[in-house]
Structure 1
Amino acid sequence: MANKRKRHRVLPGFGLSMGYTLIYLSLIVLIPIAFLFLKASTLSLADFWETVTDDRVVASYKLTIYTSLIAALVNAVFGTLIAWVLVRYDFYGKRIIDALVDLPFALPTAVAGIALTTIYAPNGWIGQYFEAMGIKVAYTPLGIMVALTFIGLPFVVRSVQPVLQDLDRQYEEAASTLGASSTQIFVKIILPAIFPAILTGFALAFARALGEYGSVVFISGNMPMKTEIVPLLIITKLEQFNYAGAAAIAVVMLVFSFVLLFLINFWQWRTTKKYQMN
């Protein structure tokens, strides 16, 4: 009877791998979040509620969520378009454009904020033309959206691009031979296949925008009740040594982000399941 050879594994077995996974996640994610909730719990319920419902804090919530949502939606549309161009067309300079997509990942956010402020200020290279039309970009919510769009674009492009590359074109060719128009092919065949990836990119861009600080702090102007974002307000609380207040505001944003990401992931799962069934 031939001896059975033990299968060689590149990585350790499930038990050891899962142990490393749980330890790593605990040290990097779970423990810091737990201490955040623990610090916020040092406030009484009345003080906690008063802190998180202050008019200035509520205004920063609305501004952060609103601008992050708009920026993520813009990126979902134009990021998908850029991914489409990079996958479906061959042109001179394609590799350069593909590399430029990752620039917001590599560029320090403070540098990005300074550059965007310089460009879109009332006397900036681009801002002066908007100023002539009566449109102010820098030091307004519109400027915040510009910064959040800049840092969130790669998430959508890099989520959609590999799905488009793996998409089998035989279905498109079959639909075309049956007389389907380009619009019908995109809506009925391509969009359902890439929609889960678009949702993933949207969720990542939105989550990234909610916590963005460096690129926004310069272009926003940081005016309370007008252009003050939640991360800046948390930093302000920390500078005042109000650690419990900063933790309370952070907990609210953390819970909101978690619930929103859960709903988006659930929607993505339902969409993927529906597409696989069809």
Structure 2
Amino acid sequence: LHLSAVQADFAALKEKYAALLASEARYRELAAHLEQRVQEQVVSLDTARRQLYQAEKLAAVGQLAAGVAHEINNPLGFIRSNLTTAQEYAAQLEAYYRATSPGGRRELEELFPDFRALLRESIEGTERVARIVTALKDFSRLDRDQMAPADLNAVIRTALEMVRPQAGGRVEFVTELQPLPSMACNAGLLGQVVVNLLTNAVQAIERRGQVRIRTRVEGESVFILVEDDGRGIAPEHLPRIFEPFFTTREVGSGTGLGLTVSNDIVRAHGGRMEVASAPGKGTRVSVVLPLGKGGK
């Protein structure tokens, strides 16, 4: 009788153990499935974040395009005019060479200074166009995952090259860029941040004004400061400026994502953004980035 009871207990234990093993297998399967779902969600969120960055950047490119087109058309206009005149000069040169009289040589000598000036101005115009196109290409590039040592002052100068045409001469840009150590960062994304801040500063100035861009190093941090003397931000709006789609501009004048994306980019670099503003007294935006292991 005792042996039968032991055998029954042992059989029951084996059954429970088998049930536990089956349960553990199910839990492992569920855990693996859950981990896969989490990874899929992470990838999905990362894809959405990238799409948000790109959508905001494309909107910024659209806003910059009109000013850039105007800025390119100006040098193209005088290059065309200069080269037309140079073509006429070339025809005259050919004629003067054929006429070897002293009078012809004197007229030829009078053409040289003007000819050189036309060519110099044309070369400067093509260099200006090249800088604008390069800045636009750098700003629009898609290699946003690349972290590499970069010169933040150079990033700021490129951003300024992009935004300056928007101002149309009504905004004075003042730069105070202190020497900065090279730091590991995503230069394309930080350039997007600076373009957003400069664009906001220009749009905050209703008539004429000044935008000041400064950089400095304090301890283990790099500071980028963008200040304007525009209309400022109302106190009740300040707590919401980083919210997606929040904007104080007219409908259609912006995406409402500029500061949201900029703040996201800065935080991804381990930094922070600070905004100080008052109605009628302008706005100062500070971007604080850690040098960390990237500074050298």
Bin for the TM-score computed over the shorter chain = under 0.3
TM-score, L = length of structure 2: 0.24
Q: Which of structures 1 and 2 has the larger relative contact order (alpha carbons within 8 angstroms, sep 6+)?
A: 1
Structure number with the higher strand fraction is 2
Query: What TM-score do the two structures reach when normalised by structure 1?
Result: 0.26
Bigger proportion of residues as helix? 1
Rg larger in 1 or in 2? Answer: 2
